[in-house]
Structure 1
């Protein structure tokens, strides 16, 4: 059986902790044949640790030796690398978010379509057990009325890498963490489409000296990204989404929440619960689901590999990812301009 030749572009934590384990678990379908990083020492360390035969300092050279790549670089480089790979006939799995902005995302999508290659963005929450069950439940929920999303962390600014650097990442808590649940919620309520966004971003707690922060120390003076975001989003069918995300909230505990109240029923995603009026009373259905992130990463990798071989369609497709980026752009623009932003 032919195996997909996979190259890793970027040899940081997300490559080592999420993608390499998933590809090794699927070794009958895929082989990691190359790794590239601008830090060549780091690339060689990862190659030696995981028996990856080829190491490159230039990703353009790597593209000549693979069928597909997984992009694990800072967000600033997603578009350039993805477009180059797609134009060379190489499939692309790119870590979230899609790009720094929607214009970059459009160019990625256009390159994928022009070259008939797969482009997947790593919104792996779509593969979490309770999320997939919620998606199956949506016909019984009916037309959404109000969706609530919270991606809140109690004092957990990522103190490593380049997460607090706007030039390299494009944003903070929204573009790094909130985007996962935003994508999940938009997927669940589809085909409803967001049309208007009113939002406010904050950069407050993370700028204070003498930080209380579970995820390592960082230079609070150098931080130039959002640490808390709230948004009110309207859809084309009149429904709304109440959104909030944070790296550094003064709250009791972390909170990961998506719930959808619809015309015929309601669903809570974490944990999965379904609510429906029946027999003249409100009925509540619960079932066991997992929130296993490793399992979700494995299912994401398998879906991508199968799609590259023409055996499946992408569960996280680039058009959906581009819509998420458009909403992110609108949130930042709304906060900057102090008014609602309309999405075409």
Structure 2
């Protein structure tokens, strides 16, 4: 196989703003052959817009036309569609999170191993230039000791789609947004095994009437997911992580922050900075970026296509994505106890 035939399942916002444009950029290596969506009219309009030849209402009918699929549906359907695709002999790029829960994620991983097909999960923060630089610089900070993660939005509850529907999404700010920076922090520190997880979830702000929300209107009466989450995680190697994420919190500004303190130095990812102490000085280093591709969506698509064609290893391995789901589930369960 020299080129990859791709199908897109679910043609909502993330498909049209990230995945379809990225795969179209890689037209020498792949072709988008088919679309599927429960909203068949939206699928047909999208196919016409991008000149994609085949449209299906039932995603099962798409598998015979493609070698790989990109799944962009609500979280509830990630496992079902991924497993069906893998059993049909089709590679899978599934949007984050991997699944609603750990059991579903484990079933997806088992299906990919049995089928010997690629299973990638869309944790695109790993492909950002700052994240790639931080991964290379981890060797300079020694053994990681403490990691701090903040994925905070002041008033950005998604007012579109099904993001506030617990049945379809499994949760709110943690499973939708915080999962990205949680995954990034785990990857940078070597995906160590957690031994203790405590956490708290909140949604009092978003259930209060007449809240200001930058990202559109939502029904506060039916809001049943988390809008703010905190957690403390201890790992088998002695390291720890302080984690916080929100869609709605009374803070000054939105914040995306991952910092790691190690035995020989430390770093911050956004912006990328390296902190060391030597020659009798405390040193702070910043990156001078060289020209290059800064489209993380394109880099993610490129890695998936290369992996399917046997030319690269996945940057986001499915067992790593499963660990993110395990921690998310543990935080939710811990808050119930």
State the match for 2:97 in structure 1: 97
After superposition, the CA RMSD in angstroms is: 1.3
**Aligned residue pairs: how many?**
336
Q: Is the 8 A contact 1:69 1:91 kept in 2?
A: yes
Q: Secondary structure of 1:62's match? A: helix
State the match for 2:54 in structure 1: 54
Deviations 1:55-94 (A, max 9, x none): 0000000111100000000000000000000011000000
Q: Secondary structure of 1:200's match? A: strand
Q: Is the 8 A contact 2:173 2:227 kept in 1?
A: yes
Q: Is the 8 A contact 2:191 2:320 kept in 1?
A: no
State the match for 1:217 in structure 2: 217
Q: Is the 8 A contact 2:19 2:297 kept in 1?
A: yes
State the match for 1:147 in structure 2: 147
1:267 and 2:267 aligned: yes
State the match for 1:6 in structure 2: 6
**TM-score normalised per structure 2:** 0.98
Deviations 1:111-149 (A, max 9, x none): 000010000000011000010110001111111111000
Q: Give distance in 1, aligned partners of 2:191 and 2:59.
A: 37
State the match for 2:134 in structure 1: 134
Q: Give distance in 1, aligned partners of 2:269 and 2:2.
A: 38
**TM-score normalised per structure 1:** 0.96
State the match for 2:199 in structure 1: 199
Deviations 1:15-73 (A, max 9, x none): 00000110111111111000000010111111111111100000000111100000000
Change (3 A) 1:90 1:105: same
State the match for 1:342 in structure 2: none
Gaps of 5+ in 1: 338-344
Q: Is the 8 A contact 1:6 1:66 kept in 2?
A: yes
Shift of 1:214: 0.2
Q: Give distance in 1, aligned partners of 2:295 and 2:209.
A: 38
Deviations 1:139-172 (A, max 9, x none): 1111111100000001000000000000000000
| 1:248-327 paired onto structure 2 within 5 Å | 248-289=248-289, 295-327=295-327
1:166 and 2:166 aligned: yes
Runs of 4+ in 1 over 3 A off after TM superposition: none
1:43 and 2:48 aligned: no
Q: Give distance in 1, aligned partners of 2:3 and 2:222.
A: 44
